[in-house]
Amino acid sequence: MIDTIVSEALRRHAPRTALADTTRSFSYAELDAFATELAADLRPWLSAGRPTRVGLLAGNSAEYVAIYLALLRSGCVPFLVDAAATATELRTITDDCGLDLLVQESPVPVLPSAVVRGPLGRHTVVAPGASGPVPGLRPDTEVCRFTSGSTGKPNCIEFSGRAVARAAVNWAEGTGLSEDDRIACFASLSNGLAFNTSLLASLLAGSELRLHRGLPTAGSVVRALAQGRATRLVGFPALYESVVRTAASTDALRGLRFAISSAAPLSAEVGARFTELTGVRIRDYYGTAETGPLTFDAGAAGTVPAPGLGPALPGVSLRAGSGPGEPDTILVRSQSMGSGYLNAPGAFEARLDEEGWFRTGDVGYLSGGSLVLTGRTSHMLNVGGRKIDSTEVARVLLEVPGVADAVVLEAPSRHGAPMVAAVVTGDAGLPDPAELRRHAAERLAAYKVPTAIRVVAEIPRGTTGKPALPRLRQLFDPVSRQD
Amino acid sequence: MPTTTSTELRSTIVRIVLESGEGEITESDLAAADWSLTAVGYTSLSYIRMIDAVENELGVYLDPEAETERFATIDGIIGLVVESSGDGDE
């Protein structure tokens, strides 16, 4: 289904520019032809009689999009894997989900045991040799994405073609995305922020998508915007913090009409200062991996922002608390909802209430229709806009001989930004924090590795046995530091 | 870029790297880690902060899309700064 609507859009917008990165650009007609060519190259490696499961493990590029379209066109199911995944994480994902092939950037397999099949454009196709039972995909699943999970390992979310298409159409409609727009996307396409605001939405609307990779420093953002004359900027809070911190040259930012950041962690001061510098207000993207985009604040540029993240997008229904004094669990129904977790049977269904509303794990209330977040019910951390499962990180620390207990939490860094922190207890054999970090870095993507680790005699706990997080957080307070 | 000796440049880079880190890092931690930023828990936020500060203080542009592995060590960063300021003089 996705292929049908994208192919129609590629024909409709044929002469317009569809995609660009720092090395090349494609018109819609050229993208169509390139995707067809890549689909033909893929043919010898496809499984007979069932959709081939293909992990796409790559950073942003114009070719990434062409490969994504070629996979859909070939009847494959693309699994969009975070390019920051370590070999250990990739092995778990491959075995859990029964991946047949991986498309990667390096010509040398990321997984040591994988076998190279051949080149696909500038990328390389490898057979990862998945082992273990292969879980069955739902018949209408067209794309799979990963979330930090609630089960101690990444959950693989299955999406029907209809859900992915509705996410894109509803976002484009709710935010007024049009063929006059040029999107500068600094978020990774495997991440929900870019997947939902940029990838398919851009193609269906006939916009121009300019893809960037690497760290979003103010210097690189200004250069990219000066070159691409973007009307929309998509990035994580770190990008906006950098622009504000360096008071970057703003001439390049003058053509911007929208700036989109992932929800919650961006501070009000950064938002206000960015608006002062550019005349553009940062809109918070709020959505979850499982439900797709949920709200959008469409208030005009320069106006005083209403509280919260905006009202529900088309195709989305929200339930939350009724006011600031009564925040409640946020429940969602959306046309862009995933169908279930491929590798954690029952865990997705457990998050639905009896009427089929999805529990997001966030808490908040509705103020004049606009959603205001006040906290979270889950043990997910949100650091720099990326979600991290604290249980997954704690489990990796507990593997280390000498570690008796480990709690992973969000704590303020010395610059005031949230960081991943860990508190551990152990016996005489407990290695030093640097060694613990090394162990974690070998097994977890870099953004999940604790930045600071404290060793204590005992983890303070409340009467329910839960770790006393405020007391643990104080261990990272600059004033109470022992060193 | 203002004229600096290689020793001054190195100590400026080390100072910026220590100031920009999210966690608490000392010069001896860095030395013990063979001057590798990754080994002392440098996060992507720390890298962005560091590149911003280097660009602001030394008036160079460091392209974060190019040769990312060179940002991971003090010597790598010094090399990038020297090359970048050389480009600017031409």
pLDDT given for residue B88 in this prediction: 45
How many pairs of residues across A and B have Cβ atoms under 8 Å apart?
A: 87
The reply to whether domains A2-81+99-133 and A380-474 share a CATH topology is no
Both tokens assigned to A85: 């995944």
pLDDT for residue A483: 42
Q: Which of A214, A238, A483 sits opposite B24 (nearest CB)?
A: A483
The residue of B26, B48, B68 whose CB has the most chain A CBs within 10 angstroms, and thus the best one to mutate to test that interface, is B48
Of B44, B55, B61, the CB nearest to A238: B44
Which tokens sit at A305? 């922002």
Do A316 and A332 touch, CB atoms closer than 8 A? yes
Chain A residues inside the 8 Å CB shell of B67: none
Using CA coordinates, name the residue in chain B closest to A481.
B24
Q: What's the pLDDT score for residue A278?
A: 86
How near does any CA of chain B get to the CA of A433, in Å?
A: 10
Residue to mutate among A413, A420, A447, with most B CBs inside 10 A, is A413
Contact B40 A223 (CB under 8 A): no
| Closest residue of chain A to B67, computed from CA coordinates | A214
- In whole angstroms, what is the distance from residue A476 CA to residue A451 CA? 11
Cβ(A455)–Cβ(B61) below 8 Å? no
Domain positions in chain A: 2-81+99-133, 380-474
As a whole number of angstroms, the distance between CA A365 and CA B7 comes to 56
Q: Give the gap in angstroms from C-alpha A292 to the nearest C-alpha of chain B.
A: 26
Q: Which of A217, A413, A437 is opposite residue B52, by nearest beta carbon?
A: A217
Could you give the maximum distance between any two Cα atoms of chain B, in Å? Answer: 39
- For residue A450, list chain B residues with Cβ-Cβ distance below 8 A: 41
Alpha helices in A279-409 (DSSP H): 390-398
Q: What letter does residue B85 receive in the DSSP assignment? A: H
- For residue B26, the model assigns a pLDDT of 87
Spatial CB neighbours of A433, under 8 Å, sequence gap ≥ 6:
A452, A453, A454, A455
The predicted pLDDT at position B89 comes to 43
Provide the pLDDT for residue B65. Answer: 83
B46-80, pLDDT tens digit by residue? 999 999 999 999 999 999 887 788 999 999 999 99
Confidence (pTM) = 0.88
Q: Report d(CA A176, CA A233) in Å as an integer.
A: 14
Chain B residue whose CA is closest to A211: B65
- Is A437 an 8 Å CB contact of chain B? yes
For A446, the closest chain B residue by CA position comes to B43
On chain B, the residues whose CB falls within 8 A of the CB of A215 are 44, 47-48, 51, 64, 68
The nearest alpha carbon in chain A to B65 belongs to A214
Q: Which residues of chain B lie closer than 8 angstroms to A414, CB-CB?
A: 22-24
pLDDT at A149: 65
Q: Could you say which architecture CATH assigns to the domain A380-474?
A: 2-Layer Sandwich (3.30)
Task: Kindly give the confidence (pLDDT) of every residue in chain A, 483 residues in length, as a single tens digit, with 9 standing for 90 and above.
Answer: 999 999 999 999 999 999 999 999 999 999 999 999 999 999 999 998 899 999 999 999 999 999 999 999 999 999 999 998 989 999 999 999 999 999 999 999 999 999 999 999 999 999 999 888 999 999 999 999 998 766 667 899 999 999 999 999 999 999 999 999 999 999 999 999 999 999 999 999 999 999 999 899 999 999 998 888 899 999 998 899 999 988 766 777 888 988 999 855 677 888 889 988 888 888 888 899 999 999 988 776 555 556 788 899 999 999 999 888 888 999 999 999 999 999 999 999 999 999 999 999 888 999 888 898 887 777 788 887 788 888 889 989 999 999 999 999 999 888 888 899 999 999 888 998 889 999 999 999 888 999 999 999 988 887 667 788 888 988 988 654 444
Chain B environment of A417 (Cβ under 8 Å): 22, 45
Instruction: Provide DSSP, A58-75.
Output: --S-HHHHHHHHHHHHTT
Sheet strands (E) in A276-426: 282-288, 292-295, 316-319, 328-334, 340-341, 358-367, 370-376, 380-383, 386-389, 403-412, 418-426
Q: Report residue A142 CA to chain centroid gap.
A: 18
CB contact (8 A) between residue A246 and residue B52: yes
Residue A36: which of A78, A71, A64, A80 has the closest Cα?
A71
Q: B interface toward A at CB cutoff 8 Å?
A: 22-24, 29, 32-33, 38-41, 43-45, 47-49, 51-52, 55-56, 61-66, 68
- At residue A18, the pLDDT reads 98
Residue B87: predicted pLDDT: 56
The answer to whether B49 contacts A216, with C-beta atoms less than 8 Å apart, is no
Q: If we measure between CA atoms, which residue out of A284, A372, A273, A394 comes closest to residue A328?
A: A372
Backbone phi and psi for residue A18, each to the nearest 5 degrees, phi listed first: -95, -45
The whole-angstrom distance between A332's CA and the closest CA on chain B is 32
Using CB atoms, pick whichever of A238, A447, A451 lies closest to residue B48.
A238
- The hierarchical CATH code for the domain A2-81+99-133 is 3.40.50.980
Nearest to A451 among B23, B55, B56 (CB): B23
Q: Which of A415, A437, A452 sits opposite B49 (nearest CB)?
A: A415
Does residue B90 surpass a pLDDT of 60?
no
Contact A407, A459 (CB under 8 A): yes
List chain B residues with CB under 8 Å of A415. Answer: 22, 49
